Structure 1
Amino acid sequence: MSFLKLSIFLVALLLSACGSTTKELTEGEKKAELYYSHGTKLLIEKHYTEALDALGKAYALTPNDARILNNLGMTYYFKGKMELAEQHLKRSLELDAKNSDAKNNLASLFYTQGRMEEAKKIYKEILEDLVYEHQYRTYYNLALISLQQKQSAEAISYLEKSLKERSDYCSAFFKLGEIYREKHSFATALENFKEASKGECYNDPAPLYEQGITLTMMRKNDLAKEKFNELFERFSQTAYAPLATLQLKKLEGNSDENVASQDIKTNMINPKTAKQNQIDDEVDLELYESPQF
């Protein structure tokens, strides 16, 4: 799982052939289902042009299907056509006002456009859906808005609620690590970065790198070296490997266990460049610095 990935909620492909209606499908509806299933698969695989073609054909056959409109909207999003994305997502919600996944897509679209208050309003509407299975993402997204609005205490509260919904949600741990480190609560930051490296995020280098950086800031250079060496051994083919090598060289030049504050500031900027370089490496589409779609 990449720590710079949007997590796009798509109507599940597995649901595409099992709608709630029991009526027999017409020939046109059957074709639309096939196009929808194929288009959704292409969308998940990030073949956006082909997905747009297939979902567009499904839409032409059944223009009032909320699922097709939702996925078509997200295809337009990835093609950079924001107005069309918003138009189709809103139409999807007109047809299925209770679809919290589609609401999340629209709110996250607003977030990426800087329309924070509109996004916040929709996220809070989603929280009213008591049977929604992905509220941990909703709380996470609200935390991101709070951070944009310089409300770090509120962001921490939302992230803690996210973890109550899903105790192994490494995105929330990672973000808490960043917040606490910014506050110079290094021990708490380190614990959160450690939690962020467990479970499904074990194979992501970002939390391990941030542990090394945090240990450096705590002037625990020997432990920091261990983390950077581990990162280099486990993730030698990623953009983090040269960064780890750079940190090791800097630490080797600081035998007195002191690291210049300017170096630390530089260290905290470099990981984001590395994460940007990995944006296209994951199909999972999870992001820790952008809204969880």
Structure 2
Amino acid sequence: MSCGKLLRFLPLVLVLLGCVPQQLGLSSADKKTVQFHYQLGITYLGEGKTPQAIKELTTAQSLYAGSADIEHALGLAYQQKGMTDKAIEQYEKAIGLDEKLTEARNNYGTALLAKGEYDKALEQFEKCLADLQYATPEKAAYNMGVAYFNKKDLDKATEYYEKAIKLKDDNPNALFNLGYIYEEKKNFGKALDAYKKAATLDPSFKEAFYRLGVIYDNQQEYGKSLEALKNAVQVDPDYLAAQYRLGMVFLKTGNMEGGLKKLEFVVKTDPESQFAKDALGELNKQKIVPLKKSTSR
């Protein structure tokens, strides 16, 4: 188990709404067939049924090869399946058919991000932001923050995360990533503020609660640390980094039973957890862990 910083530096991918592509030159019957397979593919995509989505969208593509929407949807399906090169190929086809399909351009950028081609990705996101009719520019701004962070340009990453929040203040991922950058720069006040806002906007954001717990622990504000860490493990009981930290804070506050239970839970769940095993070993040395009673045969 790694007890380090668990982050959300993931690009956002737009989800298609299932709009029907234009089908020029098709008969009425063929249009209905294309529409059926396209809509079914989009439905499967939204349900996470990627193989079925690819099958239906490929059928729609074979019937009508001139639709940017179909190529875009196939790109999303391939990206969802982890086939990044195929996704890039589809996004390039979609953009070639319709340069104004900014949603496809944004997703093209996220696929380039996944391959570590940060400069090429930034070029696509910049084009998204230049499109004044683009409905969700905050996502392109956020993705630019991700790219700059991966380029280790924290100042530029901060600039674009802040831009994303300015464009849409309900943006917990951007707030969280900002918090991480502030934390790296030892600006813990701003980091706490960003993490709190992220957790307020998304009460299931376990990583935000965890980072709050870590900072408060380091500042010896154990009551606040316990509250944040309890929120994290309430969201995800198998969040072992938070369970370990919670156990250690319990020990620091004199709750030996609570601390031992948490550490034992971590070791039982992940026998390779060296942090938790070391902590239990130290407690054994101090004879804090009660020995199991022997039984006679």
CA contact (8 A) 2:213 2:224 kept: yes
- Listed one character per residue, the Cα deviations across residues 165-195 of structure 1 (whole Å, up to 9, x for unaligned) are 0011111110011111111111110110000
Distance in 2 separating the partners of 1:124 and 1:153: 17
CA 4–152 in structure 1, closer or farther in 2 if over 3 Å, else same: closer
Alpha carbons 1:116, 1:145 under 8 Å: kept: yes
2:115 to 110, 113, 133: 113
- Structure 2 residue 17 is the aligned partner of structure 1 residue 12: yes
* 1:105-143 superposed Cα distances (whole Å, 9 cap, x missing partner): 111111110111111111111111112121111111111
SS, match of residue 157 in structure 1: helix
Q: How many pairs does the alignment contain?
A: 248
Partner of residue 97 from structure 1, selected from 96, 99, 114: 99
Query: Structure 2-normalised TM-score?
Result: 0.77
Between 1 and 2, higher relative CO (CA 8 Å, sep ≥ 6) is seen in 1
Contact 1:76 1:82 in 2 (8 A): yes
Question: Deviation at 1:205?
Answer: 2.0
User: How far does residue 84 in structure 1 lie from its aligned partner after superposition?
Assistant: 2.4
The answer to whether the 8 A contact 2:11-2:110 is kept is no
Contact residue 10 and residue 70 of structure 1 kept, 8 A: no
Structure 1, unaligned stretches of length 5 or more?
257-293
**Which residue of 51, 54, 57 corresponds with 1:55?**
57
What is the match of residue 209 of structure 1?
Answer: 210
Identify the residue that residue 156 of structure 1 maps to in structure 2.
158
- The structural deviation recorded for 1:70 is 0.4
1:177-196 paired onto structure 2 within 5 Å: 177-196=179-198
Corresponding residue for 2:172?
Answer: 170
1:36-87 C-alpha deviation (Å, 9 max, x unpaired): 0000111111111111111111111111111111011221223333332222
What code does the residue aligned with 2:187 have? Answer: S
> d(CA) in 1 for partners of 2:11 and 2:146?
13
Cα distance in 1 for residues equivalent to 2:159 and 2:88: 30
CA distance in 2, matches of 1:225, 1:155: 31
Partner of 1:250: 248
Q: 1:29 to 1:125 in 2, by over 3 A?
A: same
* Per-residue CA distance 1:6-48 (angstroms, 9 max, x = gap): 53223312x23xx578999621121111100000111111111
1:186–1:218 contact (8 Å) kept in structure 2: no
1:244 Cα deviation after fit: 3.2
- Residue identity over aligned pairs, in percent, reads 23
Which among 186, 198, 201 is matched to residue 200 of structure 2? Answer: 198
Matched residue, 2:37:
35
Return the offset for 1:254.
Answer: 2.6
Q: Is the 8 A contact 2:182 2:190 kept in 1?
A: yes
Q: 1:82 to 1:5 in 2, by over 3 A?
A: closer
Query: 2:238 is matched with which residue?
Result: 239
Normalised by the size of structure 1, how large is the TM-score? 0.78
